[in-house]
Amino acid sequence: MKLLAPLELPNGTIIPNRLAKAAMEENMADADHAPSDALIALYRAWAEGGAGLIITGNVMVDRHAMTGPGGVVLENDRHLDRFRRWSATARAGGAQVWMQINHPGRQMAAALGQQTLAPSAVPLDLGSFSRRFSVPRAMSGRDIASTRSHFVASALLAEQAGFDGVQIHAAHGYLLSQFLSPLTNLRSDDWGGSACSRARLLVDIVRDVRAAVRPKFSVSVKLNSADFQRGGFSPDDAKEVVQYLNALKVDLIELSGGSYEAPAMQGQARDGRTLAREAYFLEFAEDIASVARMPIMVTGGIRRPQIAEQVLNSGISVVGMATALALDPHLPSEWMAGRDLAPTLRPIEWKNKPLAATAYMAVVKHQLRRMSLGRPTAPEVHPVWALVQQQALTAMQTRRYRRWTQSLAEARQKSQ
């Protein structure tokens, strides 16, 4: 089985097999927005599961920019002991463990009470859900420089905390993906216009991170193969960005797709071709990989060993799985033992696509919470119940987040 073969990365480190736990947004931070006991327990299950690479759910580089109110934040060394415990737990089974670092840009809920920043003042178009997100302010040059330094600082802290690498999130409609897309980046300065200029912030961040960390610390990028919106980031754009990254000693690129507006990451892509088989983004990845000088990982809908082998036989180096490992954290070990398992969730076929995508995420998070408590997963949970449960939790976490940011602001004022 190719799944069992180790992979040597460009920096010389070894991933013990070709199966990766891709990032999922857990929203399991403690009251200080550091890794909670529940989050660490969740990664203990994945550490025991046999994946060769474990990529964390997104860690925020700036406490004022959150994908969700329960997100982990790493912008200083105040709680670095908790991060060291997280990395040690996740690495206990022999996998490489990378921290995904991220900034949401305009994809941040208005209820969090923070100023939303983006390349341009383009609001989210989610129908009746649009009001849940503020119209963003176009970033100034100072904002861009600050964000760039935040990514580098978080990468250095991840290295200090014992992680093997970082994954810089430039997909799924978050900030760096917003800079890449001509639909959300309307700038006419050095960060907008051509694909080269739209990729400038990502390229600068990757270059800065690579220069700051040690050579054996892996630096990877998560990139959309396409965002599945007319006039948006295309597979040809993705190929061009990969060519820019070729020169930057990137150790791996993960290809996915979609955004909040076109949620292909939940298998709801608006481009019908991606629904033709289980590996949603494989046909795009094969084309993009033709110009890549680093290993390529594909994530999106993979849940059967035969499909995983098909992906590897097509020239892709690593198979990423998310939902399947939210249902069965030991799936890699089970496949390697010859058990042909294919965990799946009940389908959500609601006409309201943003609501369906939100419910899908709620169902996945329901599984993660059960795993963190040592309970069996519940694939048949009704999406309405999972959604109601998640909304109640999000409301509680939002209040806690606002109190946390207010207390930090007050403490800062007193110290001045």
Question: Within a 10 A sphere around the Cβ of 188, how many other Cβ atoms?
Answer: 9
Torsion of CA 154, 160, 161, 165, to 10 degrees: 70
pLDDT band at 276 (very low <50, low <70, confident <90, very high): very low
Asked if 347 and 382 touch (Cβ cutoff 8 Å), the reply is no
User: Rg (Cα) of the chain, in Å, rounded?
Assistant: 20
Residues 6+ apart with CB under 8 A from 331: 49, 50, 321, 324, 325, 341, 343
Q: Shortest CA distance to 365 belongs to which of 345, 349, 338, 336?
A: 345
Which runs of consecutive H residues, i.e. helices, occur in 345-382? 353-372
What is d(CA 36, CA 82) in angstroms, rounded to the nearest whole number? 8
Taking the C-alpha atoms of residue 162 and residue 283, their distance in angstroms, rounded to an integer, is 35
Percent over 70 (pLDDT), the chain: 96
Full DSSP string of 227-245: --STTS--HHHHHHHHHHH
Q: Looking at residue 268, what is its pLDDT?
A: 43
- What share of the chain in percent tops pLDDT 90? 80
Average of per-residue pLDDT across 180-204: 97
Q: How confident is the model at residue 281 (pLDDT cuts 50, 70, 90)?
A: confident
Strand extents, DSSP E, 180-232:
218-224
- Rounded to an integer, the average pLDDT of 337-366 is 91
Distances from the Cα of 212 to the Cα of 55, 78, 160, 258, angstroms: 20, 20, 12, 30
Q: What DSSP designation does 279 have?
A: S
Q: How many CB atoms lie within 10 A of CB 4?
A: 13
pLDDT of residue 272 exceeding 50, the answer is: no
In three-state secondary structure terms, 86 is helix
Q: How confident is the model at residue 225 (pLDDT cuts 50, 70, 90)?
A: confident
Indicate whether 226 pLDDT > 80.
no
Instruction: Give me the phi and psi of 259, to 5 degrees please.
Output: -160, -175
SS3 call for 23: coil
Q: Tell me the pLDDT tens digit for each residue of 70-99.
A: 999 999 999 999 999 999 999 999 999 999
SS3 284: helix
Instruction: Tell me the helices (H) and strands (E) count for the chain, helix number first.
Output: 13, 13
Give pLDDT, residue 364: 96
pLDDT at res. 267: 44
pLDDT at 407 exceeding the cut of 90 = yes
In the chain, % helix, strand, coil (3-state, to 5) comes to 45, 15, 45
Contacts of 134 (CB under 8 A, 6+ apart): 106, 108, 110, 115, 116, 123
Sequence length of the chain is 416
- Helices marked H in 69-172: 80-91, 141-160
pLDDT at 262: 72
Q: What ranges do the domains of the chain cover?
A: 2-415
Please give the structure tokens belonging to residue 27: 């929203």
Looking at residue 215, its pLDDT comes to 97
User: 91 to each of 22, 43, 336, how far by Cα in Å?
Assistant: 15, 9, 19
Q: Rounded CA gap, 125 and 217, in Å?
A: 38
Fold of 2-415: TIM Barrel (3.20.20)
The predicted pLDDT at position 273 comes to 41
Tokens for 378? 């519940």
Query: Rounded to whole angstroms, how far apart are CA atoms 243 and 291?
Result: 7
3-state secondary structure at position 21: strand
Q: What is the pLDDT of residue 274?
A: 40
Q: How far is CA 303 from CA 84, 98, 345, 359, in A?
A: 31, 22, 11, 20
The region of weakest confidence among 31-35, 154-158, 236-240 is 236-240
Task: Name, in order, each residue with C-beta under 8 angstroms of 186's C-beta and a sequence gap of 6 or more.
Answer: 119, 120, 122, 192
What is d(CA 403, CA 410) in angstroms, rounded to the nearest whole number?
Answer: 10
Which pLDDT value is given to residue 301?
Answer: 84
Longest dimension (CA), the chain: 62
Condensed to tens digits (0 to 9), the pLDDT of residues 245-263 reads: 999 999 999 998 878 887 7
Q: Where are the beta strands (DSSP E) in 206-313?
A: 218-224, 252-256, 296-299
Are 119 and 178 a contacting pair, CB within 8 Å?
Answer: yes
pTM over 0.75: yes
Predicted pLDDT at 232: 83
Cα–Cα distance for residue pair 35/88, rounded to 1 Å: 12
